Structure 1
């Protein structure tokens, strides 16, 4: 019965994680008007699920870190009550945040829950040094790094685009160009003028392409190319989130051999997908529309930076928050454009500050109740 309760607690945590986090990877697609909400959440669901499955092979270090190993004595890790307290404490925190529409970090919630149950269980024997170095430092540094990197990358992209003269109407055109041909024959004293067709590639405005190829050409303009890159970058962010978050939840299951890693990853992936499909809209709208207005280029830059940072952190076992990195990247763009809503950003930062203590208190109370009964 206790193992079933642990499995259900982990699935509840995965569900709330999906509800609060799944849309974050595609928020800029929706916010920039590149696509609608349904298509955005569908793309997020598919790519997040893929990242969760990839975590089986790429994110073993995170599973170990979030089992609590090294923070508390090994005999406590083997107690299912400890893992249940962590899962429920974090899940309740994320559930409340989702209901009020605040994009908080499941990673931060798990760290708080680990701290709350750990202190109740072992008191001063809790490894505070590892908590700070392995968990808290990446959570603090990552959003600042994301904001700075996205600001610099966007300014670089903008400068390169202007230097190359690329606009929304710029098109890469491939087709049979009509080239004038002049043939002369001195003996018969006549001149023949005609045209020949040659396969060519040009970068020019779409209007010029129509004239050059007499309307018959294959081409893709810069806006369509950017939208494609934007979708790809959103997929990278969602994939990275699945890769980074799934092992953290599975770590609560495998330490007591409740479930094999592979089956744990699959169960968590399914619960996350369901949570995102059913309850992601409120948080998604805040991320997409309320931090800062953005266009496709700005959204692409924010997603690219987020995806690269989170993927790198996952492979190296660093427990960064996709939420913190994503919000930091979007805020970096808002800083450049000077359109960021500072009141919304302030409220998000406040919710981040409250996440750890709320999760710690919830987890500590649940573990204390287990000890009583």
Structure 2
């Protein structure tokens, strides 16, 4: 048998090398998720080892070491799921790349947790369980352990499905389930649970309504004006001032409250002053940036890009200050109960516990965050910098209003509700304009009425998935927590 020609041999070699290259690419693609899991597992092990070094190797500290590992696991899941609500709109609007969004969110979340995170947190998740009903320290520790494990597992499952859920509600459900398993139905404060159930409706509805109202304001005062650039120069600094004032009010209540006693009235004065300064500083920037711009909507949208980035960063800082403490509350409760041998309604969070929470969020965001960021930012409805700014502004205002009214709301529900509010408003507004006699709305007029009804600006599949995840978060976490509590107590008894 004769050998193949030399040219054919090289061709065969190139084909084989191409196949090998494709196999290597496939192996790299398949193995990529395993790298993330490996890094996350390494962080969890390091958190447990750090707790062991910090606390020592006494037998009574083994429970705390295990709790530190599960606390790190919970923090990683918060980074993978909850942070997407702050950065998703900015990424979907193309104001930020995915890489920069992750870097900014990681820095701001960690800074919020370590600098403005509450020194004191309600370990029984906002008064859900009466401490007297679980006065036995041993029972209390296992109940908090079950709550920590179940809430982390539920957030992990929701991230895998692609549903942004409230980590605070997951913790509340976990504590409630463990409390019922440990002390019965009478241990639960059903009034507090009723308020939390009401927040399932109030949070997204209020966030969506405020976002839609701001979008309507921008359309009426800027986009539908003859001179859009002049209108933008007048209104964009006002909107920036409103955003700065709202965040300053929130941070005054959250951050300054650790240093001095500050009430809502003083916080509002701080916000008013900050808003006025932001307005004065942003007006020259808007005027300078808008010079030479064409008189069209696309130019106006560009003016919201930089304010949107700052608002996303501030939302991440506020989230780190507020939600991280709630997430590591069960871990703080276990540390306190082990160290002092008692059960209290409020305890101080040790700094090393906050560090686990802050760094865990950063790891979770880097490793697993892009999936939910893309979903919130681009797969629910189409966002641009103007619409995304309405979502961020709505989230900030809703949190302030809820704090003033004393309502336990979820930042997750508010932000995602704002995205839905913007999308549903666009649907309503488009249909309203099309019904006007002689209306001309671009290419939409060329689409048949039946086809327009089928083509929605908000994806209904995502809407139903997220809504279902919100509704079942507390009962699912509670059920898992009760089962885990029974398993843990049976193993140690």
Normalising by structure 1, report the TM-score. 0.80
| Contact persistence 2:74–2:151 (CA under 8 A) | yes
The residue that corresponds to 2:424 in the other structure is: 335
User: In 1, are the aligned partners of 2:130 and 2:189 still within 8 Å (CA)?
Assistant: no
**Structure 2 stretches of 5 or more lacking a match?**
1-61, 235-283, 340-347, 428-456
**Conservation of the 8 A alpha-carbon contact between 1:66 and 1:249:** no
Match of 1:269 among 354, 358, 362: 358
Corresponding residue for residue 26 of structure 2: none
2:227 corresponding residue in structure 1? 165
Q: Distance in 2 between matches of 1:107 and 1:317?
A: 16
CA–CA separation in structure 1 for the residues paired with 2:228 and 2:131: 53
Identify the residue that residue 372 of structure 2 maps to in structure 1: 283
Query: Counterparts in 2 of 1:19-34, with a 5 A limit?
Result: 19-34=80-95
Match of 2:292 among 207, 218, 222: 207
Residues in 1 aligned to 2:394 and 2:135: alpha-carbon distance in whole angstroms: 40
Deviations 1:10-34 (A, max 9, x none): 2211111111112220111111122
The reply on whether 1:156 has 2:217 as its aligned counterpart is: yes
Give the distance between the partners of 1:311 and 1:280, measured in 2 at CA.
26
Decide which of 246, 250, 253 is 2:331's aligned counterpart.
253
Asked if the contact 1:113–1:360 (Cα under 8 Å) also holds between the matched residues in 2, the reply is yes
Which of residues 306, 312, 326 in structure 2 aligns to 1:228?
306
CA change 1:305–1:171 in 2 (3 A) is: closer
Distance (Å, rounded) in 2 between the aligned partners of 1:153 and 1:139: 22
Residues 387 and 422 in structure 2, CA contact (< 8 A), matched pair in contact too: yes
CA-CA distance at 1:208 after TM superposition: 8.4
Taking structure 1 as reference, are residues 319 and 227 closer, same or farther at Cα in structure 2, changes over 3 Å only? same
Residue of structure 2 equivalent to 1:196: none
The equivalent of 1:100 in structure 2 is 161
Task: Please identify which structure carries the higher helix content.
Answer: 2
1:122-141 paired onto structure 2 within 5 Å? 122-141=183-202
Offset of 1:277 from its aligned partner?
1.0
SS in 2 for 1:293: coil
**What do residues 182-203 of structure 1 show as CA deviations (whole Å, max 9, x unaligned)?**
xxxxxxxxxxxxxxxxxxx895
Residue 145 (str. 1) matches residue 203 (str. 2)? no
- The structure with the greater share of residues assigned to strand is 1
Contact preservation (8 Å) 1:23, 1:44: no
Contact 1:108–1:139, Cα closer than 8 Å, also in 2: no
Matched ranges for 1:28-107 at <5 A = 28-57=89-118, 60=120, 65-66=125-126, 70=130, 73-75=133-135, 79-107=140-168
Residue 323 of structure 1, CA deviation: 1.4
Q: For 1:63-89, what per-residue CA distance to the aligned partner results, in whole angstroms no more than 9, with x for missing partners?
A: 564475537625157622111100000
CA contact (8 A) 2:112 2:321 kept: yes
When residues 66 and 171 of structure 1 are mapped into structure 2, their CA distance, relative to the original with a 3 A threshold, is closer
On the 8 A contact 1:77/1:255 being kept in 2, the answer is no
Supply the distance in 2 between the matched residues of 1:149 and 1:170 (Cα, whole angstroms).
20
- Find the counterpart in structure 2 of residue 357 from structure 1: 475
8 A Cα contact 2:143 2:178, kept in partner: yes
Distance verdict in 2 for CA 1:236–1:22, change over 3 Å: same
Give the Cα separation in 1 of the matches to 2:68 and 2:127.
14
Quick one: distance in 2 between partners of 1:73 and 1:164? 66
**Alpha-carbon spacing, 1:342–1:41, altered in 2? closer, same or farther (3 Å):** same
In structure 2, what is the Cα distance between the partners aligned to 1:137 and 1:344? 22
* Matched residue count: 333
Q: Which of 68-77 and 273-282 deviates more?
A: 68-77
In structure 2, distance between residues paired with 1:242 and 1:231: 17
Are the aligned partners of 2:181 and 2:485 in contact in 1 as well (CA < 8 Å)?
Answer: yes
Aligned to 2:411: 322
Q: Bigger shift: 121-130 or 103-112?
A: 121-130
Report deviation, 1:94: 0.6
Structure 1: stretches of 5+ with no match in the other structure:
173-200, 210-220
Match of 1:15 among 76, 79, 83: 76
* Distance of 2:115 and 2:200 partners within structure 1: 23
Question: For the structure 1 residues 203 and 356, does the alpha-carbon distance in structure 2 shift closer, same or farther, using more than 3 Å as the test?
Answer: closer
